[in-house]
Amino acid sequence: MKKFIISILLIASALHLPAQTDYKASLFGCMSDGITLNTQSIQTAINTISSCGGGTLHFYVGRYLTGTIFLKDNVTIALHEGATLVGVPSIYDYAGPSDAPKGLIVADGQKNIGIVGSTPEREFNTNVVGNGIIQGQGALLVKNAEAQRAKGYLDETIEQAAPALISFAGCTGVKVTGLMLEGAAGAAVTFKRCKNVETARLLVDSRETPASSGVVADDCENLNVADNFIHVSGKAIRIARSKGVKTTNNKTPKGKL
Amino acid sequence: MTKNILKLLLLGAGLLACRQLQAKDYDVRDFGAVGDGIFLNSATIQRAIDFVHARGGGRLVFYPGAYVTGSIYLKSNVTLHIEQGATLLGSTNPWDYVKDPYVGWMAMIFAVKQENIGITGKGVINGRGFATANNMIKYIQKGLLDDPLRNDRPSETNRPENIHFRECSHVAISDVTLKDPASWNQTYDQCRDLLVERIRVDSKSYWNNDGIDIVDCDGVVVRESFFDAADDAICLKSHDANAVCQNVTVESCTARSSASALKFGTASRGGFRNIRVTGLTVYDTFRSAITFASVDGGQIENIVVDGVRAINTGNAIYLRLGNRNSGKAPSLKNVIIKNVYAEVPYTKPDAGYSYEGPVEDNPRNISPASIVGLPNMRVENITLENIEMVYPGRGDSLYAKVGLTAGELDGIPEMEKSYPEFSQFRELPAWGLYVRHADGIRLKNVSFRAQNEDYRPAVVLDDVNGATFTGVTFSEPNDGGKNQLFRYKSSNITIQ
């Protein structure tokens, strides 16, 4: 019996069963106007949801300006069609995991987390592709970082300062699916020491900075990269020192990878 | 016929102007109104309106100052005259607004079943809708108002408009600036003899900020006005299956929108007829310069659009029949669109505006202009004349592809019950114009120009019966002589 329960639990965690509790971003005062900086509202939402046992934070159509937010255990962000997380162009609003690049959406040592493009209430509702957007404003961000460096106020190199859109380190059970990822200052998505990762059905368009990579993974285990369209200025997919990597049906404008 | 109506309208407007000259002016401050931007004047302004109305009418004048108010009701023979430097400032407390039980909407300035009314003067009506809408969200989250928060926003009818007039006649709106409502900006529903001139609409504060909504009205002139709106800029609607929006002239207007610039619909129950639009300038518009949609059983007929210049606009023309459970067959016929120049960009046309249009229906390459009916409900008799459309091209078949095989063309969904939007089908097989389920399509002197290569042909006709192409030209770099006009299941196609 115990074994049975354990195997059920294992199956459940492998399937990444979605948490049942849903929260709308407006409950936490998030503003969809593209002007209000929502960093702390979103962070409060994530912390609250995680401490209540997990769930999904839903963003509906609109532009939500934010700096770095930290995903926590058992929290998924759902970006419905037309919902856009917009990275604030101020360089000092970003942070990262201790040993991985900075990011707009960061997780450090968390489990069972995700950012997903949610199903639109339309006739196409089967295989969600590119719904919900994360926009980095990378060119603007790098320009501002350069200006800060020129004045001597910023100690980091541009490379250190430039955030990825998504930077996860030491996480287990990660889902990044069905999104449009645009204009990263660094890479679009980067994983370090992560396990059981699914990265699928992304439309990546990141060419605002000279060497923006698409999907980057280092020292990961069980990584599935599938059905993505990646149009970037750097390398589309860059995977190092990882085990159990599956890449299927990924495309760039030059053809299939 | 249209000319006569226009004359009548002008005469009506002239009479109204004469009457206003004779009418007495009342200073709203004499009633105790305070233009300090703080004091809530609703009751005072209402008393003033009632008084002027009871005394046979006149102008209630707002001299420079900021007059905060919630809902007020305009009465017959009263004109609100807002002097330059004066502002009617919407209260940001949603409870200061009435949801009128008869019309079912919230608004700052209501008029229901009144005549000879107006809002004039070079002052401003500022709804401050962003704050009001977000305050309303907090009350809904607290459970004080029942609202499903669809798309995480209150329903349009639970947010105040600036103006909502219902069943009024002889209405004149002139010179004012209308700013930042929480919902639609100004609705005229079942009004007769409406003149809107020289107004300026700056309406990008919250969702559904339409520029102007003309609903089931008869005898309307909108002219020399400027609209900058987050949602549809100049919008004709038909809410009542037994009414129709008719005899409308829109002339010399400029529109900017994060949705469509000139739109008929989406609510299209009765229909739209005898409508003439001339001299329309469109820029930085996210969706279509022109969208005519009948999806609720309405009839759209006898429409002339003459003279449109659309720069940096997501799509030029979208004509659509759909059927969202109205139980009544819609129609879309006898439409002439001529003298149009449109430039469609590769990048997002409304980037940087407040409340940008939502990126959706991806993956798709740049969408073509479209005329789309249903297999058994066909778009009829459409003329496109003297038109130049410039497209970016760059359609990439690896990103999204619908080719020209029977399987791919038939695989494009009908989307009969969906919200009608030019992007709704996602990828379409043409870069310039896609026509499906239509009869009697005439293109005369139409030029399609792609600035870069595209994997698609310029035009695809699918299930079109009767089309004439006279002087239609295509240009696309390195097109290798590909067939730019693809016909599928179509008959009686003449190319001259």
Note the ipTM here.
Answer: 0.86
DSSP three-state, residue A246: strand
Q: Is B398 on the interface with A (CB under 8 A)?
A: yes
Instruction: Give the tens place of pLDDT for each residue, B77-93.
Output: 999 999 999 999 999 99
For residue B202, give how far its alpha carbon lies from the nearest alpha carbon of chain A (Å): 16
Q: Is A247 on the interface with B (CB under 8 A)?
A: no
Quick one: which of B335, B443, B313 has its CA closest to B386?
A: B443
Q: Is B22 on the interface with A (CB under 8 A)?
A: no
| Contact between B76 and B114 (Cβ < 8 Å) | yes
| Predicted pLDDT at B7 | 55
| Contact between A168 and A112 (Cβ < 8 Å) | no
Give dist(CA A166, CA A113) in Å, integer: 12
Average pLDDT over residues B28-51: 97
Please name every residue paired with B25 in a beta bridge, in sequence order, or none if there are none: B59
* pTM metric for this prediction: 0.91
| Predicted pLDDT at B63 | 98
As a whole number of Å, the end-to-end CA separation of chain B is: 33
Mean pLDDT over the full length of chain A: 90
For residue A6, give how far its alpha carbon lies from the nearest alpha carbon of chain B (Å): 38
Element (H, E) at A133: strand A133-135
Give dist(CA B185, CA B210) in Å, integer: 6
Element (H, E) at A144: helix A138-150
| Contact between A51 and A74 (Cβ < 8 Å) | no
Quick one: which of B220, B215, B419, B385 has its CA closest to B317?
A: B385
Q: Is A61–B356 a contact, with Cβ atoms under 8 angstroms apart?
A: no
Instruction: Give the tens place of pLDDT for each residue, B277-296.
Output: 999 999 999 999 999 999 99
Q: What single DSSP character describes residue A60?
A: -
Instruction: Give the tens place of pLDDT for each residue, A158-211.
Output: 999 999 999 999 999 999 999 999 999 999 999 999 999 999 999 999 999 999
Give dist(CA A110, CA A174) in Å, integer: 9
| Predicted pLDDT at B3 | 54
Contacts of A229 in chain B (CB under 8 A): 363, 398-399
Q: Which has the minimum average pLDDT: A4-13, B106-115, B348-357?
A: A4-13
Instruction: Give the tens place of pLDDT for each residue, A82-137.
Output: 999 999 999 999 999 999 999 999 999 999 999 999 754 433 344 567 789 999 99
Instruction: Give the tens place of pLDDT for each residue, B224-245.
Output: 999 999 999 999 999 999 999 9
Please name every residue paired with B448 in a beta bridge, in sequence order, or none if there are none: B389, B474
| Contact between B371 and B315 (Cβ < 8 Å) | no
| Contact between B413 and B426 (Cβ < 8 Å) | no
Give dist(CA A187, CA A105) in Å, integer: 12
Task: Give me the total of CB pairs closer than 8 Å, taking one residue from chain A and one from chain B.
Answer: 75
Please report the domains of chain A, with CATH numbers, ordered by start residue.
Answer: 20-256 (2.160.20.10)
DSSP three-state, residue A150: helix
Q: Is A62–B152 a contact, with Cβ atoms under 8 angstroms apart?
A: yes
| Predicted pLDDT at A131 | 84
Average pLDDT over residues B325-333: 91
Contacts of A129 in chain B (CB under 8 A): 362-363
Give dist(CA B142, CA A19) in Å, integer: 24
Q: Is B309 on the interface with A (CB under 8 A)?
A: no
Give dist(CA B468, CA B461) in Å, integer: 12
- How many alpha carbons lie under 13 Å from residue A210 in its C-beta half-sphere? 3
CA-nearest residue of chain A to B395? Answer: A253
| Contact between A173 and A195 (Cβ < 8 Å) | yes
The residues spanned by each domain of chain B are: 1-231, 247-496
Which residue is it, tokens 């509702």?
A125
| Token digits of residue B349 | 């046309």
pLDDT confidence tier of residue B16, bands split at 50, 70 and 90: low
| Predicted pLDDT at B22 | 57
Question: At A216, phi and psi to the nearest 5?
Answer: -120, 135
Element (H, E) at A189: strand A189-192
Res B160 pLDDT > 80? yes
| Contact between B164 and B110 (Cβ < 8 Å) | yes
Question: Would you give the distance in Å from CA A59 to the centre of its chain?
Answer: 14
| Predicted pLDDT at A3 | 52
Bigger pLDDT: B12 vs B41: B41
For residue B400, give how far its alpha carbon lies from the nearest alpha carbon of chain A (Å): 10
CA-nearest residue of chain A to B140? Answer: A27
Instruction: Give the tens place of pLDDT for each residue, A230-242.
Output: 999 999 999 999 9
Distances (CA, A) of A21 to A50, A54, A120: 11, 7, 19
Q: Which has the minimum average pLDDT: A217-226, B178-187, B325-334?
A: B325-334
Quick one: which of B213, B217, B203 has its CA closest to B234?
A: B213
Q: Is A203–B359 a contact, with Cβ atoms under 8 angstroms apart?
A: no
Average pLDDT over residues B472-477: 98
Res A8 pLDDT > 60? no
HEC letters along chain B: CHHHHHHHHHHHHHHHHHHHHHCEEEEHHHHCCCCEEEEECHHHHHHHHHHHHHCCCEEEEECCEEEEECCEECCCCEEEEECCCEEEEECCCHHHCEECCCCCCEEEEEEECCEEEEEECCCEEECCHHHHHHHHHHHHHCCCCCCCCHHHCCCHHHCCEEEEEECCEEEEEECCEEECCCCCCEEEECCEEEEEECCEEEECCCCCCCCEEEECCEEEEEECCEEEECCCCEEEEECCCCCCEEEEEEEEEEEEECCCCEEEEEEECCEEEEEEEEEEEEEEEEEEEEEEEECCCCEEEEEEEEEEEEEEEEEEEEEEECCCCCCCCCEEEEEEEEEEEEECCCCCCCCCCCCCCCCCCCCCCCCCEEEECECCECEEEEEEEEEEEEECCCCCCCCCCCCCCHHHHHCCCCCCCCCCCCCCCCCCCCCCEEEEEEEEEEEEEEEEEECCCCCCCCEEEEEEEEEEEECCEEECCCCCCCCCEEEECCEEEEEC
Res B19 pLDDT > 80? no
Res B17 pLDDT > 80? no
- Architecture per CATH, domain B1-231, reads as 3 Solenoid (2.160)
Query: In this complex, which of A34, A180, A251 lies closest to B359 when CB atoms are compared?
Result: A180
Contacts of A253 in chain B (CB under 8 A): 396, 398-399
| Contact between B158 and B106 (Cβ < 8 Å) | yes
Question: Would you give the distance in Å from CA B243 to the centre of its chain?
Answer: 18
| Token digits of residue A79 | 């970006």
Find the angle CA(B243)-CA(B244)-CA(B246) to the nearest 5 degrees. Answer: 145
Please name every residue paired with B371 in a beta bridge, in sequence order, or none if there are none: B319, B435
Q: Which of residues 203-242 of B touch A (CB under 8 A)?
A: 206-207
Average pLDDT over residues B384-390: 98
